Every structure is written in C-alpha cells, then in structure tokens.
Amino acid sequence: MSKTSVVFITGASSGIGLAIARAVPFEARVFNISRRAVEGLEHMPADLSDPASWGQVAALFERELSGFEGPRAIFIHSAGTLTPMGAAGEVDGAGYTRQVLLNSAAPQVLGNAFLSAAAGCSARRQLLIVGSGAGQTVYEGWSAYCGGKAATDHWVRTVGAEQARRSGCEVASVAPGVVDTPMQDEIRATPVGDFPDHSRFVELHQEGLLRDPSEVAADFWRLLEAGLENGAVLDLREP
C-alpha cells in the first residue's frame, strides 16, 4: 500500500479548486473530481450535479483509503454553481434542480462517503468545504446557491461536533471572500434583472478587489496545516 498522502478535490479543473490542487505543500496523490481533466492531476470524471456520479466517487474513496498507510487523507469540496441565476420560480426548473443537488446535496453525501471510507485509517483526516458569505447573506437571484451554502455550513457544525466526540476527522467550512474566478466572470455577465446586486461585483472587479486564487489557496493550506477546529465555519475576510 502507498505511504503517500492523498488529497481529493472536487471542482479542481478551474478556479479555487484548481489553485488548491496546484498548491499542495507536501508529497501527495491529488485527485481532481470534476467533469474536465487537468494536466498533472489524477482525474475522476464526474458531473456532481448528477446523483448517479456520487456512488462512483464513494467507490473511489473506498478504493484509495482501504488499507491506506499514508500520513494524511484530505477531502476538499470546492465544486459549486450559480447557474441558472434568477429569481426562484422564474428560472429553468431542471437547471435549478441541478444547482440544488450540486450546492447542497453533493457536499453532504460525498462528505459522508469520505468519513465512512476514512474511518479505519490511522492517517490524519481532514474534510474542508469551500463555503461562501452567501450562506449568511441574502442575494436575490442566488436562492439555490445561498441555500446550499447555508445547508453545508450547518452540516459542518453538526458533523464537526460528531467527529470531535469520536476523535475522528477534522471538519470545517471556509469562505474565501470574493475571488477572481470564472464564476465572477459569469456574475458580471448576468443581467441586472436576474441579479440585482450585479453592480457591486462589477465595482469590486474594476477596483481590483478580487483576490487571486493562488493567494486564497495558500490561506486554505495554512489552515489545513495548522489544524481545523472541528465544526468551525470560517471566513478568510475575518481576523
């Protein structure tokens, strides 16, 4: 069995997920769990808005962590979507369903699968959800995204308490702030009628206030290296 650490990252084909994958500060096998492959990363093809893919990801966790002898096993859930943006009841129903599945259900189901697969490991185990201030703030046009982030934050609080009682996996959610990613491009291209806060995000971009993904990735790894307080819901913008 390999004695190298393993890092699983959803959505590691672009944005924050890719930056985190590129910044792993120790020797590890790094799995990109997403629809698109990226050079240099092991790839698990998966459309996480489709529940049929979740069992395949769970099987990957089981396969890689059965008898695992490496020092660290980490799962970082970064995948998420704002598509379609618009008021609930006024957007495509199938697209809205995919949003809810990806933003709310997938992190909980995959988090549960990772905890189950990693339960027998002696390795240091960490589960980190990429959160968002949208879990605490109302943004009209983002109901499925805001709802999903709020749901996963409370999932982290609850599961973190469970894991702390069991001396198990470290579980936390971390909101990165506003980051210069393709999601921000999508926001700025959205009509004001579908997203009334459009001008705020345009101004942040114009004023150069979007964070670089590599800086955010470095912050995430500093937190992971220091150790995650179980059940913590953190925001990188807060001291």
Tens digit of pLDDT for each residue in 193-216?
889 988 989 898 899 989 999 999
| 187 inside domain | no
How many structural domains comprise the chain? 1
Residue 219 confidence (pLDDT) above 80: yes
| 107 inside domain | yes
> What's the mean pLDDT in 42-67?
98
Query: Which tokens sit at 40?
Result: 């240099």
Name the percent of the chain lying above pLDDT 90.
87
What's residue 115's pLDDT? 98
| 200 inside domain | no
Domain containing residue 24? 5-177+212-235
| Average confidence score pLDDT of the chain | 95
- 58-108 pLDDT tens trace: 999 999 999 999 999 999 999 999 999 999 999 999 999 999 999 999 999
Name the percent of the chain lying above pLDDT 70.
99
What's residue 2's pLDDT? 63
pTM exceeding 0.85: yes
| 205 inside domain | no
Local confidence band at 129 (pLDDT 50, 70, 90 cut-offs):
very high
| 44 inside domain | yes
Nearest C-alpha neighbor of 118 from the set 201, 8, 28: 8
| 204 inside domain | no
Residue type, 145: Y
What's residue 125's pLDDT? 98
What's residue 75's pLDDT? 98
- 177-187 pLDDT tens trace: 999 988 888 99
| 199 inside domain | no
Nearest C-alpha neighbor of 178 from the set 154, 153, 203: 203
3-state secondary structure the chain: CCCCEEEEEECCCCHHHHHHHHCCCCCEEEEEEECCCCCCCEEEECCCCCHHHHHHHHHHHHHHHCCCCCCEEEEEECCCCCCCCCCCCCCCHHHHHHHHHHHHHHHHHHHHHHHHHHCCCCCEEEEEEECCHHHCCCCCCCHHHHHHHHHHHHHHHHHHHHHHHHCCCEEEEEECCCECCHHHHHHHCCCCCCCCCHHHHHHHHHCCCCECHHHHHHHHHHHHHHCCCCCEEEECCCC
Specify the CATH number for the domain of residue 18. 3.40.50.720
> What's the mean pLDDT in 115-138?
96
| 17 inside domain | yes
